[in-house]
Amino acid sequence: MDLYEYQAKELFERHGIPVPPGGIATTPERARAIAAGLGTPVVVKAQVKTGGRGKAGGIGMAAGPAGAEEEAARVIGMDIKGHTARSVLVEAAMVPFEEHYAAFLVDRAEGTFLAMVSARGGMEIEELAATDPEALVRLPIDPVTGVDAATAKELAARAGLPEAASGVLERMWRVMVAEDALLVEINPLISTADQRIVALDGKVTLDDNAAFRHDWDHAESGDTLEDRARAKGLNYVKLDGRVGVIGNGAGLVMSTLDVVAGAGAAPANFLDIGGGASAQVMADGLEIILADPDVRSVLVNVFGGITACDAVATGIVTALELLGERGLARPIVVRLDGNNAEIGRRILSDARHPVVRQVPTMDGAAELAARLAAGA
């Protein structure tokens, strides 16, 4: 479960990590009141669970309460990469002397934890890793020994951070362990002119499997595709591409993502409808994918086993009937194979829906979906 920035900062404060003073607002009037209470210039930040807020115009400066109200009115309701900003974080503006990067995450490939720290923050970490990998210190963390004061000082020294930052690194690890997090990231972690260390931004992902150990009060707002998919019991992950992908079984979906990439396109999502999915589950999945404004074409790749292909085909027809004109916006490429595949293909053929195209092979279906996404 990804947290909003304000929720991440609430965790940081609970564990002693300094953050700018501020508050959350769902109305422009509330943003004005928070800014008045702070008595300083403020930053108004859209609260969405995606990156690129600044480039999208979701972060603005305000000199005082009136400006904060104006900025909040502009930002609340804004669409940022398919995420609607329903609230803003209003914080005291801070001028960094230096910007750094720090993160702890689960390294699944190595079966351990990983620390990533850099003296250069405030930019996309992927860009930094690609352009100047030596600037990013990576240190595996033993799950048993963790990060004590000595390890935190070593990390800060190796990355070129101020010695005072080591205390924040140690507390970040406490957040990681105490909150059962998969990721704890601060970018930027700033040094001020008076040598304070402050988390100017924050990203935290909690492990849903550990929810039974916690009394988490991080209710989902329902405004993201992930939220809506979770409410329907779907295994969905938003990606950055243009080809929506639906499959039954994680292995088949992962293979489909690879085949789409091999066809020269990028997948827009991971969506596994499961091995025993019903027609309703298929309809729900298609509805979620077609709600993504980034999707230009959809690839449904199903191998009938427990899930019979006729049920999948019925789900597609049902979803398109329910969606009406909304279902006409993007082409849907369908590949059915396995149990009741012939019946499923006949159901789709008989429906004669104008956006549905059937292709017998996975490679052929991926190539067609890629061409359609590109407008060919």
- Return the active site residues: 101, 185
* Cα–Cα distance, 213 to 86 (Å, whole number): 29
* Structure token pair of residue 246: 């639906």
Cα–Cα dist 258/308, whole Å: 24
Contact criterion met (CB below 8 Å) for 148 and 170: yes
Residue 323 structure tokens: 């969606």
**Does residue 175 contact residue 8 with C-beta atoms inside 8 Å?**
no
Say how far apart CA 25 and CA 353 lie, in whole Å. Answer: 45
The letter for the amino acid at 330 is: R
Cα four-point dihedral sign 181, 182, 187, 190: positive
The alpha carbon of 70 is separated from its chain's Cα centroid by a whole number of angstroms, namely 28
Residue from 201, 239, 274, 241 nearest 45 by CA: 201
